[in-house]
Amino acid sequence: MENAAPAFQKNQAGYLPDILKFDWIEVRRGFARGRFEITKQHVAPNGYLHAATVVALADTACGYGCIMSLPEGASGFTTIELKANFLGTALEGVVSCEARMLHGGRTTQVWDAEVKSEANGKTIALFRCTQFLLSKPRGAQ
């Protein structure tokens, strides 16, 4: 299976995943893996990893995987539901995420992601989202 990570890395230039310095290791049908090194921009004023940073990494991983997993006739997607359970945090080092498609239907996909600290292997968050698949207009190629 083709690893599209370099293309996604390039295409995120100037957008939130780029601003947050997300680095993509593997993006393919049904799977995505990415990471970032914690810097001040990822941290809340209280000194802890900002929850929105964790959600952004997981949501982006699921989104990139969704793009690689679109069925014939789909032109894109939009997130219609997401949930995160926070189990821990990291104060330094690298945070990584693996996302997997659990359901790949004609109109929806369901994705799970796990975000971990690479330093100690502990899970920071569990994430699930549902993507609504957008159809190409009739007659479009």
* Segments forming the whole domain that contains residue 81: 5-135
Query: How high is the mean pLDDT in each 10-residue block of the chain (141 residues)?
Result: 93 98 98 98 96 98 98 96 97 97 97 98 98 82 58
| Domain containing residue 113: CATH number | 3.10.129.10
Structural domains of the chain, count: 1
Q: Is residue 140 part of a domain?
A: no
pLDDT tens digits, residue range 92-130? 999 999 999 999 999 999 999 999 999 999 999 999 999
DSSP 41: G
Q: Is residue 115 part of a domain?
A: yes
pLDDT of residue 1: 66
Which residue blocks in the chain are alpha helix, DSSP H? 5-11, 16-19, 51-68
* pTM for the predicted model, two decimal places: 0.95
Q: Are 108 and 133 in contact (CB under 8 A)?
A: yes
pLDDT of residue 137: 74
Q: Is residue 121 part of a domain?
A: yes
